[in-house]
């Protein structure tokens, strides 16, 4: 499978999916508070998605059971919403969400603090991870390479003493949630595939306070840090245009 370039019309469909993703994520953000369960967040998202007339991207994907991934603290990605998972003051929760409209996908993630008593290092983790995503997006233009994106993300993260997860990467996206190419959050400037106008990619840094290693729990989905350190995740779906990046999920 090669990279699939998107037409203007297809990118407009992806923008519609991206708007739905943004609206649902912001609604979910407003429901993150101490005492809420991750299943509460799932229900909020599923109800709003239905109202907006879009389909979930994740539910049913390789048997994944929910519309959201909710990954708390040392959970990196793919945490499954559960009524047993009660959010508490000082936690962070990554909320990852994808939607499909007219056969085209949008995919985005945010990591949200729970309550207002967040440890300074945790606050820094959120800030640095979001900044690393912005740095990766900032280098996107025709002729730039995947290595340029990875290097930009990695530079921001490692300059602050945190580490980039290697075992999961971003991806091309379009009429499939996962298309070529893979988009690592590490790399060397000038290396890797060149970006072209019409490519659409999901850039999604996963950043740990401690080491980069992760493992998957027995549920077959939840990825956690090996050392138990906190992890954050931010993601946008981004189109490569003649003039640079267009973020489709903002």
Does the protein bind ligand MF3 through residue 64 (CB under 6 A)? Answer: yes
Does the protein bind ligand MF3 through residue 148 (CB under 6 A)? Answer: no
Q: Which stretch binds ligand MF3 (CB under 6 A): 1-9, 29-37, 58-66, 207-215?
A: 58-66
Does the protein bind ligand MF3 through residue 78 (CB under 6 A)? Answer: yes
Q: Give the Cα separation of 205 and 198 in Å (integer).
A: 22
Q: Which stretch binds ligand MF3 (CB under 6 A): 41-49, 56-64, 142-150, 210-218?
A: 56-64
Q: Please, what is the minimum distance in Å from the beta carbon of residue 78 to ligand MF3?
A: 5
What string marks each residue from 115 to 144 as x (binds ligand MF3 by CB under 6 A) or -? ------------------------------
Does the protein bind ligand MF3 through residue 61 (CB under 6 A)? Answer: yes
Q: Give the Cα separation of 191 and 188 in Å (integer).
A: 6
Residues near ligand MF3 (CB under 6 A), total = 11
Which residue's CB is nearer to Co ion, number 87 or number 183? 183
Does the protein bind ligand MF3 through residue 40 (CB under 6 A)? Answer: no
Residues near Co ion (CB under 5 A), total = 2
Which residue's CB is nearer to ligand MF3, number 33 or number 59? 59
Cα end-to-end span (Å), the chain: 28
Q: Please, what is the minimum distance in Å from the beta carbon of residue 158 to Co ion?
A: 22
Q: Which residue from 22, 58, 136, 181 is in contact with ligand MF3, where contact means CB under 6 A?
A: 58
Which residue's CB is nearer to ligand MF3, number 108 or number 122? 108
What string marks each residue from 101 to 120 as x (binds Co ion by CB under 5 A) or -? ------x-------------
Are the CB atoms for 125 and 165 separated by under 8 Å? no
> 240 — phi, psi (to 5°)?
-85, 120
- From the list ligand MF3, Co ion, none, which binds 58 (C-beta under 5 to 8 Å, kind-based)? ligand MF3
Binding site for ligand MF3 (CB under 6 A): 58, 61, 64, 69, 78, 96, 98, 107, 171, 202, 235
């Amino acid at each position: 499978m090669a990279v699939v370039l998107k037409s203007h019309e297809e990118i407009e469909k992806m923008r519609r999916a991206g708007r739905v993703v943004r609206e649902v994520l912001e609604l979910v953000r407003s429901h993150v508070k101490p005492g809420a369960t991750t299943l509460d967040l799932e229900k909020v998202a599923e109800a709003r998605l239905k109202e907006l007339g879009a389909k979930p991207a994740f539910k049913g994907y390789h048997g994944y059971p929910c519309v959201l991934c909710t990954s708390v603290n040392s959970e990196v990605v793919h945490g499954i919403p559960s009524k047993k998972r009660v959010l508490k003051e000082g936690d962070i929760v990554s909320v990852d969400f994808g939607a499909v409209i007219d056969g085209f996908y949008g995919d985005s993630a945010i990591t949200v603090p729970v309550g207002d008593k967040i440890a300074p290092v945790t606050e820094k983790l959120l800030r640095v991870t979001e900044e690393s995503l912005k740095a990766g997006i900032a280098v996107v233009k025709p002729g730039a390479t995947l290595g340029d994106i990875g290097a930009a993300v990695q530079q921001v993260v490692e300059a602050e003493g945190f580490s980039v997860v290697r075992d999961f990467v971003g991806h091309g996206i379009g009429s499939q949630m996962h298309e070529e190419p893979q988009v690592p959050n590490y790399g060397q400037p000038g290396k890797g595939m060149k970006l072209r106008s019409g490519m659409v990619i999901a850039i999604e840094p996963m950043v740990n306070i401690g080491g980069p290693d992760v493992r998957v729990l027995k549920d077959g989905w939840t990825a956690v840090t090996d050392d138990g350190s906190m992890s954050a995740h931010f993601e946008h779906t981004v189109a490569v245009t003649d003039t640079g990046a267009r973020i489709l999920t903002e």
